[in-house]
């Protein structure tokens, strides 16, 4: 295992020493840190959007506002409203035979939290876990992605301006720095990224017995049920697939459609793209692919699928523009599981469509593959909805829309199995970055002494009573 870079150790030590001086910050201290973060977001939002746009080559400011700034601020304000309540001890009574003793769960900060941020939503996926970590009373150290260098550098610079160096620290650097970062002995480590890299992060954390939250990915299916409103399903799937040009961990990765509705679905999707992106190449509201490497990977996935027998169904009139990394969105029909496009997470504007003959067949297809980060179901019949929900596993589900389960304060966000480990957001995020310390308060008057040795007849009678009472 690679040892952490020496330059990272002093940062972690500084944060640890500061946390030791105030191991259980009062709510007013936590709230002040959250308001500082809110001020940073509001005052620097235009600069952040410009930096993200420059990193992508094109990223509409409207998408950055909708998908990164708004959910960050909404989460932050929800936390400010409810955080004081979350940090109160949860008190209760002891089990029947231990009464009148009492119990409590005391939420305590874990300490110093490490956050590894991906490139696809670099603002939201930095700020979201940071909000939860600060609300729980922790200090935090963030590693930004090298694939969004302008935003990463700007965010690091601005965090250093707004926060003291013993509260929140942002570091930048390449994959070697990321490896060293994940090998630091944090009190909790959150990683958002690919499943492949997640394996390495978990191995590095295991060497320190660092608890981890892994937000990974996978192939998130969209099931168009027999009773779906087809035009609505096509619109919402296209929206979920084409914002940020499909570079979204919970974007619909492929669609399962009743065989008899396949052609109608393709036509509805085309009509939706024509309406939402009337001049896709020129209007500036369709994002570019983040890097040449990612662009070439996506083009290869598409071309290899076609070479293996898949058919391209264009979703617009735009041509690919490699110099701008603009990849025209397409559907792929006639796909099968031998193709890489049906094995790898796509993370781009390619949408395979698979026909099915019965809903049970669609459910079986989903269950025959690794558990996804998200699942989308379009269906009006309640019995069918319950059937799919009860017979499939996914990190999260949105019914009759896409993406929006991630924006609900009352729902944790996270994966299951190969798509992730643990969750955060809202109160669940507060708990993720807290240790709920269990405390038993013994009453002055109690019968514990009746169970002391030597174990004679009195002990046997008491044990028999305990067995009966449970």
What domains sit in the chain, N to C, each tagged with a CATH number? Answer: 8-216+420-437 (3.40.605.10), 221-414 (3.40.309.10)
At residue 205's C-alpha, the angle toward residues 55 and 131, to 5°, is: 55
Confirm if 265 and 333 have CB atoms less than 8 A apart.
no
Give the C-alpha separation, 64 to 120, whole Å: 11
pLDDT of residue 4: 46
Structure tokens at 207: 């060497």
296 Cβ neighbours under 8 A, 6+ residues apart: none
Structure tokens at 57: 């080559």
Render 201-270 in DSSP notation, one character per residue: HHHHHHTTT--EEEE-----EEEE-TT--HHHHHHHHHHHHHGGGG--TTS--EEEEEGGGHHHHHHHHH
pLDDT tens-digit series, residues 428-464: 999 999 999 999 999 998 888 888 899 998 889 888 8
Work out the pLDDT band at 1, boundaries 50, 70, 90.
very low
Peptide linkage before 454 cis (omega within 30 of 0): yes
Give the C-alpha separation, 210 to 214, whole Å: 12
Confirm if 190 and 138 have CB atoms less than 8 A apart.
no
Query: Of 239, 197, 234, 228, nearest to 215 (Cα)?
Result: 197
pLDDT tens-digit series, residues 300-312: 999 999 999 999 9
Task: Reply yes or no on whether the pLDDT at 350 is more than 50.
Answer: yes
Give the pLDDT mean for 51-78: 96
Burial 414-439 (b: 16+ CB within 10 A, else e): bbbbbbbbbbbbbbbbbbbbbbeeee
- DSSP annotation of 67 reads I
Structure tokens at 384: 């069918």
Peptide linkage before 370 cis (omega within 30 of 0): no
pLDDT of residue 309: 97
Confirm if 7 and 125 have CB atoms less than 8 A apart.
no
C-alpha torsion 166→167→171→177, nearest 10: 80
Strand partners, 254: 221
Confirm if 194 and 145 have CB atoms less than 8 A apart.
no
Confirm if 331 and 272 have CB atoms less than 8 A apart.
no
Work out the pLDDT band at 277, boundaries 50, 70, 90.
very high
Query: Of 89, 75, 87, nearest to 130 (Cα)?
Result: 75
Calculate Rg over the CA atoms of the chain.
Answer: 25
Give the C-alpha separation, 455 to 409, whole Å: 53
Give the three-class secondary structure for 71: helix
Task: Reply yes or no on whether the pLDDT at 96 is more than 90.
Answer: no
Confirm if 341 and 363 have CB atoms less than 8 A apart.
no
Give the three-class secondary structure for 143: strand
Work out the pLDDT band at 102, boundaries 50, 70, 90.
very high
Give the pLDDT mean for 72-88: 97
Region for residue 40 given its phi and psi (left: phi exceeds 0; alpha: psi -120 to 50; beta: otherwise)? alpha
pLDDT of residue 469: 83
Query: Of 341, 329, 258, nearest to 302 (Cα)?
Result: 341
- DSSP annotation of 428 reads H
Give the pLDDT mean for 320-328: 94
pLDDT of residue 284: 79
pLDDT of residue 362: 98
Query: Of 78, 79, 99, nearest to 87 (Cα)?
Result: 79
Structure tokens at 470: 């449970």
Note the Cα 257 to chain centre separation in Å.
27
Confirm if 63 and 251 have CB atoms less than 8 A apart.
no
pLDDT of residue 3: 45
Strand partners, 311: 333
Mean pLDDT computed over every residue of the chain: 95
Q: Pick the more confident residue, 245 or 470.
A: 245
Give the C-alpha separation, 342 to 374, whole Å: 16
Give the pLDDT mean for 387-410: 97
pLDDT tens-digit series, residues 144-177: 999 999 999 999 999 999 999 999 999 999 999 9
CB atoms within 10 A of CB 155: 26
Give the C-alpha separation, 97 to 91, whole Å: 18
Confirm if 139 and 113 have CB atoms less than 8 A apart.
yes
Give the pLDDT mean for 238-253: 97
Give the pLDDT mean for 390-406: 97
Confirm if 264 and 255 have CB atoms less than 8 A apart.
no
Structure tokens at 332: 């792929």
pLDDT tens-digit series, residues 16-53: 999 999 999 999 999 999 999 999 999 999 999 999 99
Catalytic residues: 215, 249
């Amino acid at each position: 295992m690679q040892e952490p870079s020496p330059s990272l150790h002093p940062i972690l030590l500084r944060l640890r020493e500061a946390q030791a001086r105030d191991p259980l910050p009062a709510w007013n201290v936590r709230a002040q840190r959250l308001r500082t973060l809110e001020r940073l977001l509001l005052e620097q939002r235009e600069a952040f959007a410009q930096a993200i746009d420059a990193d992508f080559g094109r990223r509409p400011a409207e998408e950055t506002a909708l998908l990164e700034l708004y959910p960050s601020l909404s989460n932050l304000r929800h936390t400010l409203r409810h955080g004081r309540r979350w940090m109160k001890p949860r008190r209760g009574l002891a089990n029947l035979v231990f009464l009148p003793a009492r119990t409590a769960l005391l939420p305590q900060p874990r300490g110093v939290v490490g956050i590894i941020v991906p490139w696809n939503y670099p603002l939201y996926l930095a700020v979201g876990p940071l909000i939860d970590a600060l609300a729980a009373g922790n200090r935090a150290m963030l590693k930004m992605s090298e694939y969004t260098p302008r935003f990463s550098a700007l965010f690091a610079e601005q965090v250093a301006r707004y926060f003291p160096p013993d509260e929140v620290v942002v570091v930048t650097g390449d994959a070697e720095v990321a490896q060293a970062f994940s090998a630091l002995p944090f009190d909790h480590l959150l990683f958002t990224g690919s499943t492949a890299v997640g394996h390495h992060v978990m191995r590095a954390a295991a060497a320190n017995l660092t608890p981890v939250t892994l937000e990974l990915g996978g192939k998130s299916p969209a099931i168009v049920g027999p009773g779906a409103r087809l035009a609505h399903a096509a619109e919402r799937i296209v929206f979920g697939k084409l914002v940020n040009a499909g570079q979204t961990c919970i974007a619909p990765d492929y669609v399962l459609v009743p065989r008899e509705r396949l052609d109608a679905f393709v036509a509805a999707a085309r009509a939706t793209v024509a309406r939402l992106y009337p001049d896709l190449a020129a209007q500036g509201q369709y994002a570019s692919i983040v890097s040449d490497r990612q662009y070439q990977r996506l083009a290869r996935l598409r071309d290899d699928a076609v070479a293996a027998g898949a058919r391209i169904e264009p979703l617009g009139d735009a041509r690919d523009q490699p110099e701008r990394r603009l990849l025209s969105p397409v559907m792929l029909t006639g796909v099968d599981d031998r193709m890489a496009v049906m094995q790898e997470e796509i993370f781009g504007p390619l949408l395979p469509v698979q026909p099915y003959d019965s809903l049970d067949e669609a459910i079986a297809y989903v269950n025959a593959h690794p558990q996804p980060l998200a699942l989308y179901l379009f269906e009006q019949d309640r019995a069918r909805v319950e059937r799919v929900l009860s017979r499939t596993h996914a990190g999260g589900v949105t019914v009759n829309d896409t993406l929006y389960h991630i924006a609900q304060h009352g729902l944790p966000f996270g994966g299951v199995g190969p798509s992730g480990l643990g969750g955060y957001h809202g109160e669940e995020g507060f708990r993720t970055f807290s240790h709920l310390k269990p405390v038993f308060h013994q009453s002055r008057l109690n019968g514990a002494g009746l169970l002391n040795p030597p174990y004679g007849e009195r002990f046997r009678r008491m044990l028999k009573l305990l067995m009966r009472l449970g």
